[in-house]
A = this chain, B = another copy of it.
Amino acid sequence: MQFSSHLLEAAVNEFSKLPGIGKKTALRLVLHLLKQPTADSTNFSNAITQMRSQIKFCLNCHNISDTDLCSICTNPMRKKELLCVVENIRDVIAIESTQQFNGQYHVLGGIISPLDGIGPDQLSIDTLVKRVEKGDIVEIIFALNPNIQGDTTVYYIAKKIKHTHIKITTIARGIAFGGELEYADEMTLAKSITNRMPVAQYVQ
């Protein structure tokens, strides 16, 4: 692409560094900002600078936070005895959006994946073990993606906290709502038959 303006080129280059945004999309976004009032662009760039420079990670659960402890950890209405272990912040947002979970979280910051060079040491597993050893937690729920890496991580952590004898569960696997049986993979279907549930429990 040939630009007649270096300022435009610089902005397009910065946008196209973002994942999934090519040069053409970047140009479209920059030209959109150029059409809007200057205040809009200022707000946009301020929001990003502030977010990047001021955002913190909760010292307790490693979730994203504006303060040292996140709003979930400091909320007295949430059950301290229920701990949900997730891979990343996006999973926290997804679960929070269901409004069905009233416990606290622990963000691992990744998942054990030797092929990608990610071992247990790079994840916040030590702090999780410490939290569990404190004794407040009654049940730990693993909400990790249902694949080999996820299962490995669950297995690894479960072994690490075995001595505390707390209840360890994982989110239910099965056919998704709106999914169709005939298109479900064999593994999911097989597991959903093995782990069938009483209708009385299902219609609650």
Contacts and interface: CB of A to CB of B under 8 A. Distances in A.
Interface of A: 1-8, 10-11, 13-15, 17-21, 25, 27-34, 38, 40-55, 58, 63-66, 70-72, 88-90, 92-93, 96-97, 99
Given A27-B93, A93-B27, A33 B48 contact: yes
* Stoichiometry (number of copies): 2
Contact of A46 (B45, B51, B53, B92): B45
A4 B65 contact: yes
A5 B64 contact: yes
Contacts of A63: 4
Given A3-B93, A5-B66, A17-B40, 7 more contacts: A4-B72, A11-B50, A13-B47, A14-B43, A15-B44, A42-B52, A45-B48
A20 B28 CA distance: 10
Contacts of A45: 44-46, 48-49
Nearest to A45: B45
A52 B72 contact: no
A4 B47 contact: no
B55 A34 contact: yes
A178 to B, nearest CB: 18
19 contacts: A3-B64, A4-B65, A4-B92, A6-B66, A7-B50, A11-B50, A13-B47, A14-B48, A18-B33, A19-B32, A21-B29, A30-B51, A33-B51, A34-B51, A38-B52, A38-B53, A42-B49, A45-B45, A45-B48
Contacts of A90: 27, 31
